[in-house]
Amino acid sequence: MTPEALTEVEMITVVIDGFEVTVPKGTLIIRAAEKLGIQIPRFCDHPLLAPAGACRQCLVDVEINGRAFPKPQASCTIPVENNMIVKTQLTSPVAEKAQKGIMEFLLINHPLDCPVCDKGGECPLQNQAMSTGRGESRYEGVKRTFEKPVAISTQVLLDRERCVLCARCTRFSDQIAGDPFITLNERGALQQVGIYEKDPFESYYSGNTVQICPVGALTGASYRFRSRPFDLVSTPSACEHCASGCAIRTDVRRGKTLRRLAGEDASVNEEWNCDKGRWAFKYLSSKERIATPLLRGADGELHEASWPEALAAAATALKGKRVGVLVGGRATVEDAYAYSKFARVTLGTNDIDFRARSHSDEEASFLATAALNAKTTYFDIDKADKVVLLGFEPEDESPIVFLRIFKQVKKRALSVVTVAAFASRGSQKLKATLIPVVAGNEAAAISALEGLTEKSVVLVGERLNESAGALSAVVELLAKSNAKLGWIPRRSGERGALQSGAIANLLPGGRPVSDPAARVDVAAAWGVESLPTTAGKSTAEILAAASAKELDAVVVAGVDPLDISAEALTQLLNTYVLSFEIAHSAVTAIADVVLPVAAITEKSGSFLDWEGRPRAFTKAIEESLTRSDLRILSMLAYEMGTPINLPSVAATAREIAALGNWDGAKASFTPAKSNKSLKLAAGEAVLSSWRLLLDLGTLQAGEPNLAGTARPATANISQSRADSLGVAEGEAITVSTARGSITLPAHITAMADGSVWLARNSDGSQTIATLGIVGGEVVSVVKA
Amino acid sequence: MGLEEKLPSGFALTSVEKLAGYMRKNSLWPATFGLACCAIEMMAAGAGRYDLARFGMEVFRASPRQADLMIVAGRVSNKMAPVLRQIYDQMPGPKWVIAMGACASSGGMFNNYAIVQGVDHVVPVDIYLPGCPPRPEMLMDAILKLHDHIGHEKLGVNRAQVIREVEAAALAAKPTHQLNGLLR
Amino acid sequence: MAENPLVPTSGEFGLEKAAAESAMIPNEPPASFAKQLQGFWVTLRAMFKKPNTVQYPEVKAPTEARFHGRHQLNRHEDGLEKCIGCELCAWACPADAILVEGANNTEGAQFSPGERYGAVYQINYLRCIFCGLCIEACPTRALTMTNEYELADNDRGKLIFEKEDLLAPLRQGMLMPPHPMYPGSDDGSYYRGEVTGSHPSQEPTHHA
């Protein structure tokens, strides 16, 4: 809630345990008591979920206008009122006795699992049984037992014996995630949490139910029996997966990350995160991690080398040569800044690009103008009158943005419009109006959008650049309607890399390379005479130049060549490759020098989320010996004789802050035209694709439990195409290009007839590797 | 070290080693280094019921010049560490060290800034003796294990060979932070 | 000049009295040679006493029954481990000498009754102070202490005891885990003492 909204609220004064407290109207008693520092025991109450009054643990005595309720009332369901007098367990023997009675009831069927239960040590039931319960049980009967544990998905295990039926998990799934796969079945003593028989609990947000479960009824399969709360060292961190910018908590034991939990940040992720952010961290401790620098010997093999050896070899290879720099989308702000400075100062080039994905010049121009200046935040989504999604699937590509939109859809039926190939499950949950497009024709669809006001929010995904002219149409639309723009890349580091100038046309702080004043500004701050003026190359151009031997070397930092194109790796074969990587990859296999860098838990730094909000994090594994990119770049630049003087993350952050943002003349957008007109013959369609949240991404490797809930890949086609092909739902169809083909079960959905959709990087559906394209091209579609 | 080091090496060396070892192990002279509770047990070991005199080592010397075994009995504070090292340095070789009890061996339960986390940070330790404090039998067990070790000590070229091997093994060993055991 | 209160006067501490008393002790030569020999009588008498020395390495006097010696991880009557990997011993340990990691018992590999067993169990005897708090903390009586005390070693690494060093040996009727639980039983039956030996069907023929 914004400050101005607060002033309009009526305030109410109540007396709790003899103390007066004034709170806004509508506040629940339990929260008013919290404000006084009075802790009423509770299980089902959660500030972000609607009240349920399910566990009855928070019973208190309530009196209004001198009339007392005949029995104690659940303080988590009753809002405060004027002249209300509340007596909690601290002053009312009746309330205390009621709470103790409820605790005894809850414990009657609760098994004595604490020694083997993952929640043991951080369990609200354990704690409150100590504070509110009896020392000895009076119950001598046989406890109710259920089969345990039941895997309700590959990553969440349910132990019904432990459940206290607080309905937190079911309310979360229903109210926050919109995936009501999990419900309360049966009634009375047999009531239990269950899943629908046909639908496993395949929510992208299922991990949150594990976190908010006040007992150990829901546990995560990956963390099961791995550790105890008192073993773990917790560090507040930021999630490295997408640009949502979640605050998370990293729990480390003996130098190894064992689990991650959603952190609390009311203005970003509230208290939630997605399953990818929670469970995709096994790559950090993978066997493929590189520990020492590797140097390609005369025998053509990589050999372990010392740091001085490797740095000297790299310095010799790069010094005075034509070098391009591919930064990748998960560099921190400080690392991206170091790459930017290294390219400009040490290498003397503007050939640097963070876009390890499809990209265009139109996009570069869009990023340097509209995206860089976008100031839209999560609050703007809360207040929006309409949200337009362009080339953006929030549930798959930025799950917390999805939760934020869904919250408003649920609360006030916020209108959502999506320009996409078909209505994904996320769009369906948002009740979005689908404007079906054939890939490549987005520009026309965007230009035709109407009814936007200055309160509307237009969320543009990074994928929109794949359709020529679409971003130009967005700029036009914004100029026409004054709507707010949010550019949401898929990766956590892209907004920060843009801000840090890890792109050919920008210097740090959004300074255009083409502006002499901006160059002078940065050159003065960096203490160099001048900065390179020639126009830099984009990722594709760098790769093409490397292949054509127009570049002598390429610095590749955390880039998967298959994210760019099917040919990217072969294009690097002809050139000297210096790889900065955390683990062995396709690039390190062909690199001449490999320098191991610190992964997210081993360094400090910050990301910028899609809003441009800094998400700083600190080192979670203190004893780690790995070095961050900027530290290595500093050493390398020193070795090459033109130092960049970035000794530490703190020093880099200070330098970035001192440099500040560009306040001079802004660059102007260069529009591009949609020029493709594709003719479709029979049996042909235009491919669209995007990545699902859980897919074959490198950072999700080594976590089979998480992969188990990935949505299966399908080939989506329209009803009329299905009819003409003669396929029914679930029958296999083959999508092919000259390069290769993908055969998948067909899924018939409402979409443009000229279109076929595939998941971009899922199991059995890797469009770049197999078909060689991401979309917007003609493919043939036949019955398999 | 001593005169035995000057002996000519060759076929007779093994017999000389055995003889020297036998003599050395039966005439250990411990230095008093009682620092805390363990020292009480060490004193008990010297008294009648346990009677270290049976092993020829009843006299605890107050002067390091007359001792060749240091029983570090108790927790070593950081302030005591240089003193301990000096006493060790003043002892004539060959000399041995027993870290008696958890504190001397590793710092024990005193995992804090004041206590040396294992006396092997300061002096080379030959035998680690767990216990808090170890009962006199445990100390005697440690002493007997040390006797066994002394009895088999190499001399001359054999000794140099052993030192080279130990050094090579230590260089090849995996760093402790990479040792995982059964851990996943 | 005022008297300095910090300087004791001669009357304090009974100094004068002590001096007077010591002056009263007669310092005379012994009355006779026999009197002189009286002192040696004590020594002479001791020579005929049975020596109280325990001939340690040859004779090992038994310790008290509740002596805190090396730990042991016990087994149920059918050989399954009692340890459930709950880490309460590690939590109780004041010296941080115990490290435990639990893991899932699976259908093919059941080490203890119930869902969880201790996959990693290490006690660092260089840190352990034999206080026995771990024994008190153990909810399944899996961890107890033996009377064994000869632990000294010349290698630090060998003094970190792993699970296999600590596990109790198999007694008559016990089978080496992993093997399934006693047929028709659940973990509760084990804790109620209803399992008193192994059953032929538990033999790990089909798992080998």
Chains linked to C by 3 or more Cβ pairs within 8 Å: A, B
The answer to whether A424 and A456 are in contact (CB under 8 A) is no
The answer to whether A717 and A688 are in contact (CB under 8 A) is no
B48/C51 CB distance under 8 A: yes
B177/A255 CB distance under 8 A: yes
**Nearby residues of A770 by Cβ (< 8 Å), 6 or more positions away:** A739, A740, A741, A742
Summarize pLDDT for A766-779 with one digit per residue, the tens: 999 999 999 889 99
The answer to whether B105 and B118 are in contact (CB under 8 A) is yes
Helix H or strand E segment including A335: helix A333-341
pLDDT band at B59 (very low <50, low <70, confident <90, very high): confident
Tokens of A493: 């580091």
Chains linked to B by 3 or more Cβ pairs within 8 Å: A, C
pLDDT surpassing 80 at residue B10? no
Tokens of A472: 């130009």
B130/C94 CB distance under 8 A: no
C104/A227 CB distance under 8 A: no
At CA A777, angle to CA A771 and CA A781, rounded to 5? 65
The answer to whether A539 and A326 are in contact (CB under 8 A) is yes
Residue C85 near chain A (CB below 8 Å):
yes
Name the residue facing B181 among C125, C153, C162 (closest C-beta): C162
A225/C85 CB distance under 8 A: yes
Residues of chain B with Cβ-Cβ distance to A623 below 8 Å are: 177
Higher pLDDT, A97 or C35: A97
Helix H or strand E segment including A372: helix A372-373
Name the residue facing C114 among A116, A228, A231 (closest C-beta): A116
DSSP alpha helix (H) spans, A464-610 = 470-481, 494-499, 516-526, 539-547, 561-564, 568-572, 586-590
3-state per-residue secondary structure call for A133-148: CCCCCCCCCCCCCCCC
Beta-strand runs (E) in A707-751:
715-717, 732-736, 741-748
The answer to whether C79 and C176 are in contact (CB under 8 A) is yes
Residue B127 near chain C (CB below 8 Å):
yes
**In chain C, % of residues over pLDDT 70:** 92
pLDDT surpassing 60 at residue C157? yes
A254/B177 CB distance under 8 A: no
How far separated are the first and last CA of chain C, in Å rounded?
100
What is the mean predicted confidence (pLDDT) over C183-187?
Answer: 88
**In chain A, % of residues over pLDDT 70:** 99
pLDDT surpassing 50 at residue C208? no
- Cα nearest neighbour of A115 on chain C: C86
**In chain A, % of residues over pLDDT 90:** 84
Distance CA A531, CA A524 (A): 10
pLDDT band at B11 (very low <50, low <70, confident <90, very high): low
Residue of B100, B128, B162 to mutate, interface with C, max C Cβ within 10 Å: B128
Distance CA A351, CA A322 (A): 9
Distance CA A365, CA A363 (A): 5
pLDDT surpassing 60 at residue C109? yes
Question: Which pLDDT score, from 0 to 100, does residue C64 have?
Answer: 92
C130/B131 CB distance under 8 A: yes
B108/C129 CB distance under 8 A: yes
Q: Is the dihedral of CA C128, C130, C136, C140 positive or negative?
A: positive
Q: Is the dihedral of CA A130, A133, A138, A144 positive or negative?
A: negative
Chains linked to A by 3 or more Cβ pairs within 8 Å: B, C
The answer to whether A263 and A246 are in contact (CB under 8 A) is yes
Question: Which pLDDT score, from 0 to 100, does residue B157 have?
Answer: 80
Contacts from B111-120 at CB under 8 Å and sequence distance 24+? Answer: B111/C95, B111/C96, B111/C127, B113/B78, B114/B77, B114/B78, B115/B75, B115/B76, B115/B77, B115/B78, B116/B75, B116/B76, B116/B77, B116/B78, B116/B80, B116/B81, B118/C126, B118/C156, B119/B72, B119/B76, B119/B84, B120/C156
Question: Which pLDDT score, from 0 to 100, does residue A1 have?
Answer: 46
With an 8 Å Cβ cutoff, the interface of chain A facing chain B consists of 226, 254-255, 623
Output phi, psi for A417, to 5 deg. -120, 135
pLDDT band at A137 (very low <50, low <70, confident <90, very high): confident
Distance CA B122, CA B97 (A): 11
Tell me how close the Cα of B27 comes to any Cα of chain A, in angstroms.
45
Across-strand partners of C56? none
Q: In this predicted structure, which of A197-206, A303-312, A494-503 has the lowest mean pLDDT?
A: A197-206
Tell me how close the Cα of B128 comes to any Cα of chain A, in angstroms.
25
Distance CA A6, CA A12 (A): 13
pLDDT surpassing 70 at residue A256? yes
pLDDT surpassing 90 at residue C170? yes
Instruction: Identify the CA nearest to A204 among candidates A243, A237, A173.
Output: A173
pLDDT band at B3 (very low <50, low <70, confident <90, very high): low
Distance CA C164, CA C142 (A): 14
Side-chain-facing half-sphere of A276: CA atoms under 13 Å: 30
Distance CA A682, CA A725 (A): 10
pLDDT band at B48 (very low <50, low <70, confident <90, very high): confident
Question: Which pLDDT score, from 0 to 100, does residue A77 have?
Answer: 94
Residues of chain C with Cβ-Cβ distance to B128 below 8 Å are: 126, 152-156, 159
Residue A508 neighbours by CB distance under 10 Å: 26
Summarize pLDDT for A9-61 with one digit per residue, the tens: 889 999 999 999 999 999 999 999 999 999 999 999 999 999 999 999 999 99
Side-chain-facing half-sphere of A45: CA atoms under 13 Å: 19
Name the residue facing C104 among A121, A224, A231 (closest C-beta): A224
Tokens of A278: 């929670």
The answer to whether A623 and A598 are in contact (CB under 8 A) is no
Instruction: Identify the CA nearest to B49 among candidates B144, B132, B135.
Output: B135
What is the mean predicted confidence (pLDDT) over B48-66?
Answer: 89
pLDDT surpassing 80 at residue A320? yes
Residues of chain B with Cβ-Cβ distance to A226 below 8 Å are: 184
Residue B151 near chain C (CB below 8 Å):
no
pLDDT surpassing 70 at residue C11? no
Question: What is the SS3 assignment for A532?
Answer: coil
| pTM for the model | 0.89
**In chain C, % of residues over pLDDT 90:** 56
- Residue C136 CA, chain-centre distance (Å), reads 13
Tokens of A284: 């950090």
- Cα nearest neighbour of C105 on chain A: A225
Tell me how close the Cα of C190 comes to any Cα of chain A, in angstroms.
15
Question: Which pLDDT score, from 0 to 100, does residue B184 have?
Answer: 61
Tell me how close the Cα of A224 comes to any Cα of chain B, in angstroms.
13
DSSP letter assigned to residue A202? -
Output phi, psi for A255, to 5 deg. 75, 15
Summarize pLDDT for A716-731 with one digit per residue, the tens: 999 999 999 999 999 9
What is the mean predicted confidence (pLDDT) over C134-138?
Answer: 95
Name the residue facing C152 among B50, B109, B129 (closest C-beta): B129
Instruction: Identify the CA nearest to A627 among candidates A579, A672, A595, A658.
Output: A595
Tokens of B156: 């001359």
DSSP letter assigned to residue A665? P
pLDDT surpassing 70 at residue C175? yes
Q: In this predicted structure, which of A149-163, A255-269, C6-20 has the lowest mean pLDDT?
A: C6-20
Residues of chain A with Cβ-Cβ distance to B183 below 8 Å are: 254
Distance CA C51, CA C201 (A): 58
Name the residue facing A228 among C91, C114, C140 (closest C-beta): C91
| AA identity, residue A697 | G
Question: Which pLDDT score, from 0 to 100, does residue C110 have?
Answer: 92
- Residue A115 CA, chain-centre distance (Å), reads 34
Mean pLDDT, chain A, rounded, equals 92
Separate counts of helices (H) and strands (E) for chain C: 6, 5
Instruction: Identify the CA nearest to A685 among candidates A717, A713, A714.
Output: A717
Summarize pLDDT for A478-511 with one digit per residue, the tens: 999 999 999 999 999 999 999 999 999 999 999 9
**Nearby residues of A310 by Cβ (< 8 Å), 6 or more positions away:** A293, A294, A295, A593, A594, A595
- Cα nearest neighbour of A230 on chain C: C91
A120/C91 CB distance under 8 A: no
pLDDT band at C207 (very low <50, low <70, confident <90, very high): very low
Distance CA A182, CA A205 (A): 12
- Residue A637 CA, chain-centre distance (Å), reads 33
Distance CA B109, CA C30 (A): 57
Residues of chain A with Cβ-Cβ distance to C103 below 8 Å are: 225
Residue A770 neighbours by CB distance under 10 Å: 18
Question: Which pLDDT score, from 0 to 100, does residue A5 have?
Answer: 52
What is the mean predicted confidence (pLDDT) over A272-301?
Answer: 93
Across-strand partners of C144? C72
Instruction: Identify the CA nearest to A388 among candidates A467, A465, A479, A487.
Output: A487
Summarize pLDDT for B108-143 with one digit per residue, the tens: 999 999 999 999 999 999 999 999 999 999 999 999
What is the mean predicted confidence (pLDDT) over A633-647?
Answer: 94
Question: Which pLDDT score, from 0 to 100, does residue A739 have?
Answer: 93
Summarize pLDDT for B79-117 with one digit per residue, the tens: 999 999 999 999 998 899 999 999 999 999 999 999 999
Tell me how close the Cα of A605 comes to any Cα of chain B, in angstroms.
25
Summarize pLDDT for A348-396 with one digit per residue, the tens: 999 999 999 999 999 999 999 999 999 999 999 999 999 999 999 999 9
3-state per-residue secondary structure call for chain B: CCHHHHCCCCCCHHHHHHHHHHHHHCCCCEECCECCHHHHHHHHHHCCCCCHHHHCCCCCECCHHHCCEEEEECCCECCCHHHHHHHHHHCCCCCEEEEEHHHHHHCCCCCCCCECCCHHHCCCCCEEECCCCCCHHHHHHHHHHHHHHHHCCCCHHHHHHHHHHHHHHHHHCCCHHHCCCCCC
- Pairing between β-strand C160-161 and β-strand C116-124 as defined by DSSP bridges: antiparallel
C90/A231 CB distance under 8 A: yes
Helix H or strand E segment including C85: none
Q: Is the dihedral of CA C159, C165, C167, C169 positive or negative?
A: negative
Residues of chain C with Cβ-Cβ distance to A259 below 8 Å are: none
Side-chain-facing half-sphere of B15: CA atoms under 13 Å: 4
Across-strand partners of A237? A248
Tell me how close the Cα of C150 comes to any Cα of chain A, in angstroms.
30
pLDDT surpassing 50 at residue A405? yes
Distance CA A367, CA A492 (A): 16
